[in-house]
Structure 1
Amino acid sequence: MSNAVRSIQKLFVGNLPWTVGQKELKLYFSKFGHIQTASVIFDKATGMSRGYAFVTFSTRDGFNSASNKTNHVLDGRVLNVQVATS
C-alpha cells in the first residue's frame, strides 16, 4: 500500500486522557473497522503521554466511520479526532 493511501486513512486523536495507552486506543477505534496501527505519543524525557495519538485504519470504510462520527468519548473525555496531515 502506498504512503499516500495510508496517510489518507490516518486519524489524529487529540485531547487523549493520560490513562489511555495503545491497547485502549486500539480497542476503542476497532469498533469502526480494522486498525492497522494505533500509536499514543509519549514524551521521551518523562515517559508520560503527550495527550495525542495517531490511528491508521486498514480499510477506507473503517476510516470513514470513525471520521464521520461527531463525538468520540473515551474515559469520560471528548476526543479531538481529525484527518491526519503529513
Structure 2
Amino acid sequence: MLRAEPSPGLLPRLLQPLAKRDLTPERFRAAREGEVLRVEILVTLPEGMVHLVAGNLRSVVGVARIEVEHGRVMREA
C-alpha cells in the first residue's frame, strides 16, 4: 500500500520496479482520495527482494508513504 501525489505518469512508474524483475502483480488498485492517490499493489516476493522493491517504490517521485505487508502484518517501509 502506498500514498502518493496524483500525477499522470505515476502508475506506470510504480509498475516499473516489478517489470524489471519480471514480476506481475496479483492485484493493482488505485483510487484518488482528494489530493492523495492511494495505491495497493499485491505481489508475492522472496524475503530478500521485499526491501529492494520497497526502496525502488519509495524513490518514485511523488510517493509519500509505503506500507509493506509481511504475511498478515503490515509495516511502514
TM-score (norm 2): 0.51
Deviation, 1:53, is: 0.8
Alignment of 1:1-86 (within 5 A): 12-14=1-3, 16-19=4-7, 20-21=10-11, 23-36=12-25, 37-43=27-33, 50-57=36-43, 59-61=44-46, 65=49, 67-69=50-52, 71=55, 72-75=58-61, 77-83=63-69
Please provide the CA RMSD for this pair: 3.2
Q: Percent identity?
A: 6
TM-score (norm 1): 0.47
Deviation, 1:30, is: 2.9
- 5+ residue gaps, structure 1, are 1-11
Distance 1:49 1:13, change over 3 A: same
